[in-house]
Structure 1
Amino acid sequence: MNTTRRALIGALATAVLLPRAAMLMAAPKPLVEVWKSPTCGCCKDWVAHLEANGFAVKVYETGNNEARARLGMPAKFGSCHTARVDGYLLEGHVPASEVHKLLKEKPKALGLAVPAMPVGSPGMDGPEYKGRKDPYDVLLVQADGNASVYRSYR
């Protein structure tokens, strides 16, 4: 076999096999478990936001008050859904970018919260809000119930 032919076969094998190997070796998507009401549309939109941003999501349509209390998220940070990912809690409309940052940085904390339901946050940004974006903070919640601003959206 001549060198040109070997080079061509090698290049073809590399072009076909390397991308496939990279796909097989890719890390699995982080799993986010979400507790929400079966009738909440904004929760459904937040779940879609997470899925579009690289998360696998398992939804429990049982409401979230019991889950929030059982998991230990203080009620003062409450919103319409509660979630858990890699040992951290998420309360409310936390942007996927902040969840990725949390999982990368791994701070010592209970998790993240966006209290209430601010318009313009993921899941609260549909066409019915006509582009309105209210300012809000993503809070880093500690096990003792204290919180600090993790990121502000203005």
Structure 2
Amino acid sequence: MSSTPFRVSPAEGYAGDVTPQQAWQWVQAGEAVLIDVRSDAEREWVGFVPGAVPVAWKQWPGMAMNAAFDAQIAAAVPQGGRAVLLCRSGVRSIAAARRATELGIEAFNILEGFEGDPDAEGHRGHRGGWRFRGLPWRQN
């Protein structure tokens, strides 16, 4: 475990909630695998984090559950390893972190997600999130 000044917020059913900055520090230090649980469409249209492992929780269209989630996340995270899970706003990643925990993975939700909370006009990207915090990302 790293000796960072960051703190893990307790959570029910998974290891806890961490800030985007803490998640990125763990990933850079080789202490966690970054799992992007957004749909393929979201990563393609909105942007993605280079090096993140794409393991959709739900898929577009229709946001149907990814039947391969269990096998994909188990393959992505080494046994005894830690995963930090990223979605659009930090909501779907909670459900995915709970499932990963049931599979024996130490799983953390990344607060704020990739795009953060909507502002007064309903636009994301201006109130928190991976991109807003200036962390690495790309767009096709």
Normalising by the smaller structure, the TM-score range is under 0.3
Structure number with higher strand proportion: 1
Task: Mark the structure with the bigger radius of gyration.
Answer: 1
What's the TM-score, normalizing by structure 2?
A: 0.28
